[in-house]
Structure 1
């Protein structure tokens, strides 16, 4: 019996070490607005400058997130966010869907005290119903690329799949002006960046998992599929390790160059095999909360020309769907290895009524770092490559994603 007990301990002791969080892929806010004919009006009202002027007086004076230029430091493009998973907060559990976002480090969900229209349409946290809730009282503000929010800080028990984190600090959103979050299919955001990236909401969730020793390894991995809702795996976040079933070949590791975002070095960016951008290397962040691939304005405008994309009045770039097979490949060289995207990978297809539209998956965002301008490798890149985020050795790994049900 002692032997059996030992086996049980061994089996049960490792049962929570690998935590699978299924991710759903749904249509983005931008797609919904386009379908309802409201996209242009929405973009006018949510331009950061207009937004700042309109809502600045609604926030306490000196809210750090309202400082001009702040939105360029913290890139959330939730207009295009598509992948969400479930978490729960409180005792008994209250469920929320969140974007697991490597481009931020805070956790927030809407509060039952929220006064914004967005909160009416989403699940709200009811602090008074949780026996494990701790009130904090401090205020916080977060400035997004496409909106602001403000709220109060709190602590409670968090569950992600079968892992429980005690005393997790998080934000209860009380004010989400504008309509960005009204359309969102997710309730909140769970940031997975380094602690340096937090606004002021305490220890990030993954750091608390490490402190509370809930995982085998200080690693998490993302698999993002190209499919939506047809019974196949739409995406998965694996906490505590790597799933070798979901990629081919070896993982190529890249050191993190600055511990805030998951920031790495790009050797160069080539179009049809010819090195065109950042020939002496540049910086990039690996961001599951950004849907597209972004880069410095001048580079991206030239890249749009090279792939034959023409601008629209909504700031997007259209491509003729009939020409996809003749478009050039775009290759990111990372750690000496080539990561090549064909037009099939970097073009976003959308149906508008009965017409198929093809949009460029590249977007201009000027984002500075101490080592020069930064690119963002968002979901357009991450759908093709299984990504591993290793806090133990401060590195990011990539391997070609195995799209099992999709060939």
Structure 2
């Protein structure tokens, strides 16, 4: 009987439901805009410019340099806002990372990094970890607004109360981008499917499932509308869902391609009239992208319909006094309508003494063998609690439960 109780206790201790608090920071786009550097940055960080300037620096065969792959790299450092804490090594070394469903790799800066960006962030010191295993292979990750080079390694990873031994990760040694220099976070922890990974080996959540250290092969996100000193800006829950943070029921959407968390979208409607994606298209549920993105031709027309006009910031703005008169925008996913009001899809930011209202939509053309791809980023996910189910390959969405506005 004693052995049976001990076995049950050890089994219970080996799996867990772990909450990771998320913090909100000003996005890189906001920082660059405030410093008057945004326009110059945008000129130098188009995919074509990055490819011509840095392609020769990457190891031969780098997957993200394949024809068409650059445009598919939708992870947008410029608008990333939510991040949390992890640790690597023995003893633990702490890092802040973006928990990103739009990529599949884990990387942090190395103490051997030669870029200025690394001097502003916490760097991994391999020589101080007794559990470190050197790999030696090189990797390159080519993002839309940043790129990096490094070497691969293995070590013990901790997230919340969970310990994942022998986890593959990248040590970045070269980060020649203004995006990383301005970033509040140290690295990225990808939560997409393994086929999207640049670093060979099992992504973090796949390892958690294989080692049976989570209750269910499910993780979920809650993103708050506002930050406060008394409560975190959001939550990543590993191993299940937090019923206190959403209003049921949950609507489930099958994953249509196992790379990004990609689902079927029936149409996009403005004030109840279906105007975009009329015969269906695909949508990517991406916590690493702040805005909602779609094909350029559709987004330009959508900006016109909500009364947004181009600004000298390179973004679309609306008159803050007109918010109450702007139309609702509805995304129809597998027959279920997800509607955003203007207060939800418009971002208010202060620039000096002025409040500016920015459109929450942006143009991103992603090369795809199927229909055009849209990206449902944090503007959408703030309103809808998102559940990512690896066992059944599906995404669940439910209305997020936000506290009443003061």
Q: For 1:303, what is the secondary structure of its paired residue?
A: helix
The answer (yes or no) to whether the contact 1:293–1:362 under 8 Å persists in 2 is yes
The alpha-carbon deviation at position 312 of structure 1 amounts to: 2.1
The answer (yes or no) to whether the contact 1:56–1:66 under 8 Å persists in 2 is yes
Equivalence for 1:327: 326
The alpha-carbon deviation at position 10 of structure 1 amounts to: 5.2
1:200-231 CA distance string (max 9 Å, x none):
33110000000000011000000000112432
Q: Distance in 2 between matches of 1:56 and 1:368?
A: 19
Equivalence for 1:77: 76
Cα distance, 1:116–1:290 mapped onto 2, change above 3 Å: same
Equivalence for 1:22: 21
Q: Distance in 2 between matches of 1:281 and 1:69?
A: 22
Equivalence for 2:291: 292
Superposition map of 1:4-403 within 5 A = 6=5, 9=8, 13=12, 16-67=15-66, 69-403=68-402
Q: Distance in 1 between matches of 2:316 and 2:70?
A: 22
TM-score, normalisation: structure 2: 0.96
The alpha-carbon deviation at position 60 of structure 1 amounts to: 4.0
Q: Distance in 1 between matches of 2:66 and 2:238?
A: 35
The alpha-carbon deviation at position 11 of structure 1 amounts to: 9.7
Q: Distance in 2 between matches of 1:53 and 1:11?
A: 54
Q: For 2:179, what is the secondary structure of its paired residue?
A: coil
Q: How many residues align?
A: 406
Cα distance, 1:176–1:308 mapped onto 2, change above 3 Å: same
1:354-380 CA distance string (max 9 Å, x none):
100011100111113332110000000
Q: Which runs of 5+ in 2 are unaligned?
A: none
Q: Which runs of 5+ in 1 are unaligned?
A: none
The answer (yes or no) to whether the contact 1:17–1:214 under 8 Å persists in 2 is yes
Which one is further off, 364-373 or 337-346?
364-373
1:64-104 CA distance string (max 9 Å, x none):
43345432111111101000000000000000000000000
1:309-339 CA distance string (max 9 Å, x none):
1112443111111100000000011121110
Q: For 1:248, what is the secondary structure of its paired residue?
A: strand
Q: Distance in 1 between matches of 2:25 and 2:203?
A: 26
The alpha-carbon deviation at position 280 of structure 1 amounts to: 1.4
The alpha-carbon deviation at position 13 of structure 1 amounts to: 1.3
4+ residue runs over 6 A deviation: none
Q: Distance in 2 between matches of 1:322 and 1:8?
A: 64
Cα distance, 1:50–1:314 mapped onto 2, change above 3 Å: farther
The alpha-carbon deviation at position 61 of structure 1 amounts to: 4.8
The alpha-carbon deviation at position 405 of structure 1 amounts to: 5.6
TM-score, normalisation: structure 1: 0.95
The alpha-carbon deviation at position 9 of structure 1 amounts to: 4.6
